[in-house]
Amino acid sequence: MVAVQGNTVDTRKWARLDKVICNSSWRVMFAEGSLRHLMQNQSDHCPILVNTNGFAPLPAMLKPFRFQATWMCHNKFSEFVKTNWKNDQPLIPFVYELANSLQNWNKMVFGNIFERKRSLERRLLGVQEKISRGGMIYLFKHEWKLKRKLDEVFKQEELLWFQKSRMKAICDGVRNTRFFYLSTIVRWKQNRIECLQNDERSMGMEW
Does position 22 have pLDDT exceeding 80, yes or no? yes
- Over residues 29-71, the pLDDT tens digits come to 887 788 777 766 666 677 788 888 777 655 554 567 788 888 9
Higher pLDDT, 91 or 144: 144
- pTM over the 0.85 mark: no
Q: Answer yes or no: are the C-beta atoms of 203 and 195 closer than 8 Å.
A: yes
User: Which pLDDT belongs to residue 205?
Assistant: 43
Give the dihedral of Cα atoms 7, 9, 13, 17; nearest 10 deg. Answer: 70
The pLDDT of residue 77: 92
- Give the domain ranges of the chain: 1-55, 60-206
Is pLDDT above 70 for 15? no
> What distance in Å separates the CA atoms of residue 176 and residue 160, rounded to the nearest whole number?
12
pLDDT of 106 over the 60 cut: yes
What angle do helix axes 138-165 and 113-132 make, rounded to 10 degrees? 150
Asked whether the predicted pLDDT for residue 102 surpasses 70, the reply is yes
Average pLDDT, the chain: 75
Query: DSSP states of 92-110 as a string?
Result: HHHHHHHHHHHHHHIIIII
Length of the chain: 207
**Cα dihedral 126, 128, 129, 133 sign:** positive
pLDDT at 85 over 80: yes
